[in-house]
Structure 1
Amino acid sequence: MSLILILLAVIGFIVFATSKLKLHPFLVLLLASFITAFAYQLPISSITATISSGVGGLLGQIGLVIVLGTIIGTILEKSGAAITMAEFIIKLLGQRFPTLTMSIIGYIVSVPVFCDSGFVILNSLKESMAKSMSVSPIAMSVALATGLYATHTFVPPTPGPIAAAGNLGLENNLGLVIAVGVFVAATAAFVGMLWANRFINIQPDNLDEDDVITMPEGTHSYGELPSALKAFAPIMGPILLICLGSIANLPSRPLGDAGLFQLLVFLGTPLNALLVGLLLSFSLIKGDDRITDFSSRIADGLTAAAPILLITGAGGAFGAVLKATPIGNYIGVTLSALGVGLFMPFIVSAALKSAQGSSTVALVTTSALVAPLLPELGLDSEMGRVLTVMAIGAGAMTVSHANDSFFWVVSQFSKMSVSLAYRAHTMATLVQGVVAMLLVYVLSLFLL
């Protein structure tokens, strides 16, 4: 029992330090690693080595993938490619189903672009669509926000799901994570869209300009927008290569073992696929000095990736320390007897998300915590690990409220009062998370 109490105390420390003390998650996770090591009485001579190997091991596997994915997202955001993708979907779907169109736009844009940035980028488009289609901007905001939120928590190369997959040993099989994540995220986005339709006749209730965040100057100063082909290529290209690499690498070897197989396996490695995506993103750079601008965007992406890398590395250290303790076997045996299974990572992730606000932190921390427990939980197979990532992602959606920056972006740009934002946005993320977890559980009945 003391093993459980120590773990609960460490989790409580992580929640308190990140949500109440506002300490950076990197420092909190690093401190939690040391606290856990001393509390479980690991040999003092091995603690530093265990923590260092945890950081280096995880970042060595997945660090460059996170960096490249973040850089591509930055270039797509700064070049106006996200707007092009949105306008392409509007032309494709027409104006018959406004909330569905808005949800699909968010679903696609948030694969490379963080949901906070995606909402800001697409806000003016959302407002103009709401006006031209005579639809409540509240419904359109919730549809956009839930569409963005779905892929943000489930689909690589978004950094959170990538880090969770790396923690669970799936860094070389992201194609399977993407395939399952696309399906689970689509269900979550659809449920969010249905919730948005409940507000189809509700108008904004926070129209006092003093209380509303205005659009940052220059947000949409993109000049001539790129073509749809150029806009989609940097993100769809890597996803296609990763999926083809996974297909080629199936045990049945559907594409043989010759040159094509070797080429697809090489290009389908997430690092190589995203490097191809980065090269494709060069076509989005405009102006006379494109190389200098391209280097500047890369620098912006590196700046954005740095905190994600630090949090991910610290999460790897926390996971390495937990693996070195007896807690994994103890909790695994206990939870197996209770039949909790996939609901354990969901509950832990949801508790962390609701307490400290960051979906990425919830994904990284929970995956590090759960990794040692997979064998005892019966989730040590390839598909078991993938569904564990999905369960953690579902928890990382549950819920977005006042301690989450995304909550304030959505509520303030949508001119919603806090009470309306809780009813419209927070409840939508609750429904999304619960339904997504139920879907993951149903999938486990057939796939495990």
Structure 2
Amino acid sequence: MYCPSSMHPNANKENVSTSDVQASFVRITRSRAKKALGGVSIPPTKPSFKQQKRRAVLKDVSNTSAGNIYSDLLEGGNIKASRKCVKECKEAAKEDANIAMEILVDMHKEKSKLAEDLSKIRMAESRDAFLSNSKDEEITEQQEDGSGVMGFLQVVDIDSNVEDPQSCSFYAADIYDNIHVAELQQRPLANYMESVQRDIDPGMRKILIDWLIEVSEDYKLVPDTLYLTVNLIDRFLSHSYIERHRLQLLGVTCMLIASKYEELCAPRVEDFCFITANTYTRPEVLSMEIQVLNFVHFKLSVPTTKTFLRRFTRAAQASHKVPLVELEFLANYLAELTLVEYSFLRFLPSLVAASAVFLARWTLDQTDHPWNTTLQHYTRYEVAELKNAVLAMEDLQLNTSGCTLTATREKYNQPKFKSVAKLKSPKRVASIFSR
């Protein structure tokens, strides 16, 4: 190791100076220097204030404004110069904020334009599909009128209101793409009464659901709760055998589960026990709740007929300047009639919803065809695909079987629903399918 004594061979420890120690090429600590100087301590070197400030500024080399302020203060600059610099920084920040806002506005405009372009592409695809399926028919395309409503071959865009966040206009088409797939996954068996159940029959199921419709009215539950209740009942009965004396227990339990999922303020367990005249106790209801939830693996987010009916009704009224409330009430009435019918399990929820809109439009107006390109685009069903469901639904509307269960009819006979249960078409809908 290189040491100070090699530079001064004739010098003793007392004659070694501090400058000699600092002149060496070896890093000398204060302890070594003290030893070399015979016990004389060296006070620690204190860097100047100017050196400290420069080191602090260099920590962030991009902060040139801060460096200029420190330089002005250290080199004798006045306070006014530093204030001027701060003012310039604030103005620059304000200008950057304005630029950022302009960028956000431009991004919003581009997003809206993209949604519009995407909608036009989907409309064009639907129009091409319609034309390919109508090669043998002579159809003339009408021009767009001043109200913005397109001709028969044009699809009215029901997702054009991009300013309404609740409509989810930009994502609506993708959402319903996923919903159409999901309705195939959580679907009950259409023949579980024959293949699984031995102690109950379709008539008992009809009585149970008709009673649950009354319960939903008494407790003022939303329609989604009723549809989810029926879905849970059918899914459970599709794979689990149940005795007839426990069928009502299953019904109130499924309505309890659906209420917890759909309602803002769900009825209590005791309320559902009371509605059965205390036939079932609280522990029995809770035990059945555990069975149902474990069976469906807590998968409660399933598309029902009501899920599709909202969008299809909107598509049906796309060309109306003022929405027709009778059409909405009548479509809901027809769809709700199918809940009590076991035979409708063979139809997909989306097909039932489309058929309800088809029959509702026909019931209100027989002068025009109830189906158009807009409905075909958004429902994804052609007229021929609706035939069986529409004819079966019309039988329910006319009560051709003489059913004595009247919960749904009494519900939609009320003035708040415009008494749509009394509406009937003078012409049978079968005449459309024979054209």
Question: By the TM > 0.5 criterion, same fold?
Answer: no
TM-score, with normalisation over the residues of structure 2?
Answer: 0.28
Q: Which has the larger radius of gyration?
A: 2
Larger proportion of helix: 1
